[in-house]
Amino acid sequence: MIFTSRLREGLGSAAVASVLALASTQYAFTQCALAQDRVAPAAEAGAAAPIRFVSYNLRNYLKMDRREGGEFLENAPKPEAEIGKVVEFLVSIHPDVIGVCEIGSEADVIDLQSRLKAAGLDLPHREWVDAADSARHLAALSRFPFSARDHQTKLRYQMDDKEFEFHRGILDATVQINPDYKLRLLGSHLKSKRDVKEGDQALMRRNEAHLLRTHLDNILKTSPDENIIMYGDFNDTRNETPIKALQGKFGSDTYMRDIQVADQYGFRWTYYWSYADVYSRFDFAFVSKGLYPEVIQEKSYIFSDPDWFTASDHRPIVISVLPKDAMRK
C-alpha cells in the first residue's frame, strides 16, 4: 500500500504497526456504525427515513488499452480486482442513489448494476449520459424511480476562435424518493488537468463550469426551492475559478452550499495523483437552498478503506438526506 510504505519511511516498524492497528480499529468502528444506521428505524412512527447519496469517480470502468503486470492489453476491461473493490465499498456504504463518473458504455453500467445486486445492493433504476466523450460517461443508479430527465449532451463553447464541446455533458435526472419528495441530480465531470494540444485545459474547465452554472441558473429561475445536488469530479480545488463560478454569489438565493465532508480522521481529500504524489479535493457535493436544510451533516462523510486505491484514484463522497421538504409550509 502507498500509505503504508510512506509511514515506514519516517517511522519504525513498531510505530507503523501501532498506527495501522489504530486505523483498523477506527475503520471497523465506522463500518459498525454504518451497519447500525442502515437498519435503524425512523425516530418517529411514519417519519421519513434518511436516504444516502454517493458520488464516485470509478477510474476507467470501461474498455481501454491498459498495462497490467508489465503486459500491454488492448481494449481491456477494468481489472476484476478493481471492480471487486468498487462493489465491496458501495455495498458497504449501501447507498440509495449513486452518481458515477468514468464509466464506459451502457453495458458497463448494467454490469455494475448486476454485480451490486448480486452482492446485496439492488438499484434497479439507471440513467446514462452519452455526450461528446465516446469513452468516459456519467451515469446514475437508484433504488427509487427517475421521474424526469434533462441531460445536456450537446453543449458548446467558444475559445480562441474555435468551438469546443462540453466533453462529458451534464447528467440531469430527478429521483422520486417518495410521493412528496424529489431529489434532482446534476452530475458532471469537468475537463482534467491533463494538457491537450487543442487548447488550454484550465480555460476549458472554466468554460465547462460556466455551462453547468448556466444550466443550474435556468432551473432555479423557475424552481427556486428545488432540491438539487450538484456533484462530481470537478478537477479543481475550491479556491479556483470553476468552483467559485459553480457555487455562485455567496448569500444569494441561488448560492450552492459546499457540503464539506471528511473521513473518520478529519481528512477532506478525495483524489490522489500518483505521478505528482499529490492529494487533492476534486470531488464536491453542492446543494441548493431548498435542499440544504434536509442534509444530515453528521451522517455525511468521505468513505475510507485501507484498499481504497485498488478501486479508484478517487474516494466516494456520501451525503445523507432526510427526504422531507423542510421549507414547505
- Cα–Cα distance for residue pair 123/141, rounded to 1 Å: 6
Angle of CA points 59, 36, 90, to nearest 5° = 15
User: Nearest CA to 284 among 266, 298, 271?
Assistant: 271
Is the CB of residue 145 less than 8 Å from the CB of residue 136?
no
Is the CB of residue 145 less than 8 Å from the CB of residue 125?
yes
Strands (DSSP E) found in 93-180 = 97-103, 125-129, 137-142, 146-149, 156-159, 162-165, 171-178
Q: Flag the least confident range among 20-29, 70-79, 88-97, 316-325.
A: 20-29
Q: What is the percent of the chain with per-residue pLDDT over 70, rounded to a whole number?
A: 85
Q: Flag the least confident range among 33-47, 103-117, 215-229, 250-264.
A: 33-47
With cut-offs at 50, 70 and 90, classify the pLDDT of residue 70: confident
Average pLDDT value for residue range 139-157: 98
Q: Flag the least confident range among 61-70, 110-119, 250-259, 264-273.
A: 61-70
**For residue 69, what pLDDT is reported?**
80
Given a cut of 50, whether residue 110 has pLDDT beyond it is yes
* Residue 22 C-beta-side C-alpha neighbours within 13 Å: 8
Given a cut of 70, whether residue 130 has pLDDT beyond it is yes
Average pLDDT value for residue range 101-124: 98
Reported pTM? 0.87
Is the CB of residue 229 less than 8 Å from the CB of residue 185?
yes
Tell me which amino acid residue 143 is: R
Is the CB of residue 227 less than 8 Å from the CB of residue 185?
no
Task: Tell me which H or E stretch contains 37.
Answer: helix 13-39
Average pLDDT value for residue range 205-229: 98
**For residue 189, what pLDDT is reported?**
98
Question: Per residue in 173-194, pLDDT tens?
Answer: 999 999 999 999 999 999 999 9
Question: Per residue in 38-55, pLDDT tens?
Answer: 434 333 434 689 999 999
Q: Average model confidence (pLDDT) for the chain? A: 89
**CB-based burial of residue 180 (10 Å sphere; 0-12 exposed, 13-18 middle, 19+ buried)?**
exposed
At residue 282, the 3 state secondary structure works out as: coil
Average pLDDT value for residue range 91-105: 98
Provide the grid cell at 180: 412528496
Tell me which amino acid residue 181 is: Y
